[in-house]
Each structure stands twice: as structure tokens, then as C-alpha cells.
């Protein structure tokens, strides 16, 4: 089926909005078609399925990367390299300094970085005013902690640094069109206890009908995630509330983990989320009205066809802060300096890193969205091209030449002060 943008609601999420003539909501398959169209139009040589040899694949001379070798044995040479991955493996193997986790507030004079035990008063990803026992048997400390619960540490104070990273989840494209819907399936690894907090949350909602909860069905039962509408009766579904698709705490080993470790984390997240959706649609401990709602949904046949307190629990780390020093002044866009995507001069002279860029944990929290990565990627590609044309290192690309080309190509650049 085919829908026009005005035929479906796009008001539930910022990337499902139409503003100033821009359409931010689109099917993943449509985005892939556009990207593959660019690939064909520009005759790009794309090599898929290659894995960088992180132990022995970096070949450098005099501070310059001369070539990189894959696990397959294939070697690629170049004058300039761009590490546009989420992990920054090329950057790390080149000896570029980096950090993992959250800096303390004191490092850069920030106020909402580091450990956040009370989530700074934010509500969207927390358990609201309900309190749930962390123990396998409610209220019984001797029964042990429920799965995925981390015991509190009195030595951790608000604003302290740690090695935690933001939670991961799969953003889901769902549909309620019967002929295109794949019903949620129970994974072989399913463990009911993994979803105990979800059951307890729904029990609390049913026991407290007077409490207003974000995202409700029939005015009572909570739908615990965002269901932004896309064309052709599909959704862009994302995490929300205290317990949903974010697999909190299970991804901390990912940034520096081996490929095997990452594969295990990937599989854990996939099976957790598959089990979650099956639970919402089928488990008898979920309110019937909620089960009826979720059983109408499923994954799309035409998308992703190649991929299958003491005694109480609270979420830590959620930050949703749109304040400014003056409450009457709206926060304005900020620029990202070119220096944030290039290494120090003594570390590497021909590498650009537009995704794992130099930013504090809290600053990266606002930079980390894909539209920004596209913009940073444009800067990286332009700078790499000019470094080759001018015969200089990426550190010495003339800013006026770089900015002029970016503006000519439609990039938005804030004036330098």
C-alpha cells in the first residue's frame, strides 16, 4: 500500500515531524534505496563484510596511516582515512587517544555529566512514582536480585565519572497490515524472569488507576514506548519509560570488546527485545487490553529482510535537559569545531573521525543523532578531498577553503567568534 505524508500522524516523535517543508519520517527500505542510488550514481566501490584486523592490521609510517589490513587478508591503501564507524576501531588502532564512559562534572566544568542516580528529575525513561522490589521474590532480600539489576554502590556520588555508556536498543519498524505483518515470536532463549520488572510495573498501574502515566491505552494501561507513524502503516518505534527496549547495562563491554564479545552483546540485545515484544503480545501477566493492542502489530516482511533505593529499583543515567541560564531564552544551536574530528598532531596526520569525535559524554548525547552524523560525514569527506588536493595533512586543511566549499554545498556553519 502507499500513503501520502498528510494521511498519517507524525506528531509523536521529533524525527516523525514535518517542519519547514522537511520530511523526517521515512521507511528504512526507502532510506536504503536512496543510499544505494547514490552508490550507483557515483560509481562508489563499496566492500561489505570486511572486518578490520584490530591487532595487526594498522600500518603506519611517520604518523601517517599508509594502509589497513582486514581479517580476510585484503589490504587497502590511501592518502587519507576516515573512520566513520560507531566504535572507532581504526582510530584506536592508530594510537589516537580516546575515552570510554562518562567524565565527572569537574573535568570540563559541566553540571549534568557523570553518575546520575536520580535522573535529574526527568521522567520519560523512569519508573515515575512507582516503587518496585529488586528481588526475585518481592521484598525478600535472600531471594537475590532480579536479572539485569545492578546493586547500588554508596561510593558512587552524583557527577562522578565511570565506564558506563548509553544503553543500546534496536529501533523497530512495525506494521499492523496483516499481509505485511510477521507476528512476534518467542525466542528459544526466552526467560520469563527477564521481564519481571515489566510485570510489576503493569501491576502497579492496574492497582493505581488514579495515576496518570505517559503513553496510555484506554486511559489506564501503559504502552511503554514511542510509536511514531511512518508511511504505509509502519512505525518508527523507540524506547520510552522505565522498562522497555533499552537493555540497560548489557552493552558496557561493547566499545573495547572483541568481535566475539560484540557478537554476543548483539545477540543478547536481539533476543531480549524479541522476548519483550512476544511478552507484551502474549504473556498472561500483561493486561488483556495491552495484549490485544500489541498482538495486532509485528515486524515488516518488506523491511530488514536480511536480519532476524534499598530494596527498590530505579533507573540511573537518564538526562533530558533543555534548560538555559535564562528560562526565557531558548537554547540555540551550537557549532562543532573541525578540531573535534581530527586527532592530535603527534598522534596521526591523515585520519578523520566524524562519529567517535572529541566530545564529553554529555555533549555527545546531543551530537549522536544520525542527521548530525550525515553533516559531520560531509565535513569529513570534503576535508579529506581538500587535504589530498592541497597536499597537506588533515590538520592543515585551510579553514576558509573548507568552509567555503561546505557552504556552497549547503552545509550550515555558525560564525566563528
Span 81-114, pLDDT tens digits: 999 999 999 999 999 999 999 999 999 999 888 8
Pair 211, 129: CB distance under 8 Å: yes
pLDDT tens per residue across span 329-379: 677 788 899 999 999 999 999 999 999 999 999 899 889 988 899 999 999
Best CA proximity match to 9, nearest among 236, 237, 229, 226: 229
pLDDT tens per residue across span 43-77: 999 999 999 999 999 999 999 999 999 999 999 99
* Mutual angle of helices 259-282 and 196-207, in 10-degree steps: 30
* Mutual angle of helices 399-408 and 370-390, in 10-degree steps: 130
Helical H runs in 74-209? 89-93, 105-108, 196-207
First to last CA, the chain: 51
DSSP H helix total and E strand total for the chain = 9, 16
180-190: average pLDDT: 96
**Is it the case that residue 279 has pLDDT exceeding 90?**
yes
Cell of 69: 589490513
Q: How many whole angstroms separate alpha carbon 248 and alpha carbon 116?
A: 14
**Is it the case that residue 417 has pLDDT exceeding 60?**
no
pTM of this prediction? 0.85
Task: List own/partner pairs for 47-51 with CB under 8 A and 24 or more apart.
Answer: 47/74, 50/74, 51/259
Q: For residue 9, what pLDDT band results from cuts at 50, 70 and 90?
A: low
Hey, which of 28-37, 63-72, 218-227, 298-307 has the most confident mean pLDDT? 63-72
**Is it the case that residue 178 has pLDDT exceeding 60?**
yes
In this predicted structure, what is the pLDDT of residue 15?
40
Share of the chain above pLDDT 90, in %: 56
Q: For residue 1, what pLDDT band results from cuts at 50, 70 and 90?
A: low
Query: How large is the C-alpha radius of gyration of the chain?
Result: 24
Residues 6 or more apart in contact with residue 153 via CB below 8 angstroms: none
Amino acid at each position: 500500500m502507499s500513503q501520502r505524508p498528510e494521511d498519517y500522524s507524525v506528531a509523536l516523535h521529533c524525527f516523525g515531524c514535518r517542519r519547514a517543508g522537511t520530511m523526517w519520517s521515512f521507511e528504512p527500505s526507502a532510506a536504503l534505496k536512496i543510499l544505494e542510488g547514490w552508490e550507483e550514481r557515483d560509481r562508489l566501490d563499496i566492500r561489505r563484510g570486511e572486518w578490520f584486523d584490530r591487532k595487526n592490521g594498522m600500518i603506519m609510517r611517520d604518523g601517517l596511516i599508509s594502509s589497513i589490513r582486514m581479517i580476510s587478508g585484503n589490504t587497502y591503501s590511501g592518502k587519507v582515512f576516515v573512520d566513520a564507524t560507531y566504535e572507532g576501531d581504526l582510530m584506536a588502532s592508530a594510537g589516537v587517544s580516546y575515552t570510554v564512559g562518562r567524565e565527572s562534572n569537574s573535568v570540563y566544568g559541566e553540571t549534568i555529566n557523570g553518575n546520575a542516580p536520580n535522573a535529574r528529575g526527568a521522567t520519560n525513561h523512569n519508573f515515575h512514582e512507582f516503587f518496585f522490589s529488586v528481588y526475585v521474590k518481592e521484598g525478600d532480600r535472600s531471594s537475590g536480585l532480579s536479572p539485569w539489576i545492578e546493586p547500588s554502590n554508596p561510593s558512587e556520588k552524583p557527577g562522578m565519572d565511570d565506564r558506563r555508556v548509553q544503553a543500546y536498543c534496536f529501533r523497530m519498524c512495525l506494521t499492523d497490515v496483516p499481509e505485511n505483518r510477521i507476528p512476534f515470536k518467542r525466542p528459544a532463549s526466552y526467560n520469563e524472569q527477564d521481564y519481571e520488572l515489566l510485570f510489576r510495573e503493569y501491576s502497579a498501574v492496574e492497582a493505581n488507576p488514579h495515576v496518570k502515566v505517559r503513553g496510555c491505552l484506554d486511559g489506564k494501561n501503559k504502552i511503554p514506548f514511542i510509536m511514531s507513524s511512518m508511511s504505509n502503516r509502519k512505525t518508527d518505534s523507540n524506547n520510552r519509560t522505565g522498562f522497555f527496549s533499552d537493555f540497560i547495562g548489557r552493552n558496557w563491554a561493547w566499545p573495547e570488546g572483541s568481535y566475539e564479545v560484540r557478537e554476543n552483546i548483539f545477540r543478547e540485545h536481539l533476543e531480549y527485545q524479541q522476548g519483550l515484544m512476544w511478552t507484551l503480545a502474549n504473556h498472561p501477566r500483561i493486561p488483556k487490553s495491552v495484549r490485544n493492542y500489541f498482538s495486532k502489530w509485528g515486524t515488516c516482511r518488506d523491511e530488514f529482510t536480511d536480519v532476524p533505593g534499598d530494596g527498590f529499583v530505579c533507573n540511573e543515567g537518564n538526562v533530558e535537559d533543555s534548560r538555559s541560564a535564562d528560562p526565557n531564552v531558548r537554547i540555540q544551536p551550537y557549532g562543532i569545531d573541525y578540531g573535534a574530528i581530527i586527532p592530535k598532531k603527534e598522534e596521526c596526520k591523515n585520519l578523520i573521525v566524524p562519529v567517535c569525535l572529541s566530545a564529553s559524554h554529555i555533549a555527545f548525547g546531543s551530537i549522536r543523532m544520525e542527521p548530525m552524523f550525515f553533516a559531520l560525514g560531509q565535513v569529513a569527506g570534503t576535508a579529506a578531498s581538500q587535504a589530498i588536493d592541497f597536499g597537506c595533512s588533515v590538520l592543515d586543511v585551510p579553514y576558509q577553503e573548507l568552509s567555503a566549499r561546505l557552504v556552497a554545498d549547503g552545509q550550515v556553519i555558525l560564525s566563528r567568534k
